[in-house]
Every structure is written in C-alpha cells, then in structure tokens.
Amino acid sequence: MLPRATIKRMMKQHTNLNISAEAVEEICNLLEEIIKITTEVAEKNAKKEGRKTIKARDIKRCDDERLKKKILELSERTEKMPILIKEMLNVITSELE
C-alpha cells in the first residue's frame, strides 16, 4: 500500500492549497491502478521477448498502452459516434450545394 503521508508531501511540492484526506486517497487509487495495469502490460512485453525479467523498456510503452485501452473503452461507452459520423457527412455533403 502506498504511504499516504509521502504521497501528500509529494503533492504539496506542486500546490500551496490544502489537500483533503479523500483527495490523497483518490490519487492513491489512481496510482495503484496505474501500477497494476503497467505491471501487467510490462509482463506481456517481457514474455513476448522470452525474458524472465521486466526491464525499463517494458515499462516505457505501458502508459501509452493504458491510454489506448481507455480511449477504446470510451468509444465503446459513448453513443455519440453515429451522431458524429452523420455530422461529418453533413459537412462533406454540404459541398454539393
């Protein structure tokens, strides 16, 4: 578990505002999620190259991978895609007039 006091101290390096305990908790949740996903993706990278050790380069690409997953999730969650596509077609076909 991440040490709450350390995390809060690190946050304080970037702001003069007070920070609620719940805010520290929330950022720790985010960091823990990132550690989990990053490690899982790094493991896949390492295994793909037949290694038994996770190296720095396995970590580097993980954040992009995480963002990619999140974008795909978002596009599945939103119902706006067909509307956007229609809107785009409207713009293109307005050239006909």
CB of 91 to a copy of itself, least distance (A): 11
The answer to the question of residue 50 lying near a copy of itself (CB under 8 A) is no
Does 27 help bind a copy of itself (rule: CB under 8 A)?
yes
Q: Which of 30, 33, 39 is nearest to 58 (CA)?
A: 39
Cβ proximity to a copy of itself: between 15 and 79 the closer is 15
Residue 70 or residue 80: which is nearer to a copy of itself going by CB?
70
Burial of 61 (0-12, 13-18, 19+ CB in 10 A): middle
